[in-house]
Chains A and B, each alone.
Chain A
Amino acid sequence: EVQLVESGGGLVQPGGSLRLSCAASGFTVSSNYMSWVRQAPGKGLEWVSVIYSGGSTYYADSVKGRFTISRDNSKNTLYLQMNSLRPEDTAVYYCARASRLDNYYYYYGLDVWGQGTTVTVSS
């Protein structure tokens, strides 16, 4: 079964760090684009980051320079290292697989999602 399971969320003080993990089963993380999306309480979805199968990484402006996306191929796991955390980073963080859904064009969609892990940044 294709599945993503996030972990690592919790309560952290402003300025602190946290590393989120996303364990995949049923497919290979390194062969896919993988993304993080977050949702602040009562708010909409905010795209955070993506790592391409080739290793290129991209970030939302709101997290650039503070967050780092990575993967461990041996563990088939995606990570999000979050540093210099701010109260506005409080959210449910989802990992998702971004699949190429067309054989000709590079149409990608987030077709598999984890259940989410909650990060709270507060003193």
Chain B
Amino acid sequence: GNSVTQMEGPVTLSEEAFLTINCTYTATGYPSLFWYVQYPGEGLQLLLKATKADDKGSNKGFEATYRKETTSFHLEKGSVQVSDSAVYFCALSDQNTNAGKSTFGDGTTLTVKP
């Protein structure tokens, strides 16, 4: 079956630091990969996605590259801000998934200090 493993948190960084959150996956098909973000008191929202190998998803200064050879989709940002403090979830979905379900990682909590 499908699974997603992401870096355990919490992660605490100073403002303007470089961020990496690791994510690796196992999938039986050809998945699309996603990063979702959850701000305090809110639901998850899609941050970025990549649908095939070597694609790079990007949004709000965050990037992640779909690496099929290492089955990874690490999230990066060059300079984090206090407003990036949130929980980040890596996820996958593939065309073989029943009822459009996604598989989520456990989430990584990021705190950015001024």
Q: Do A and B bind each other?
A: no
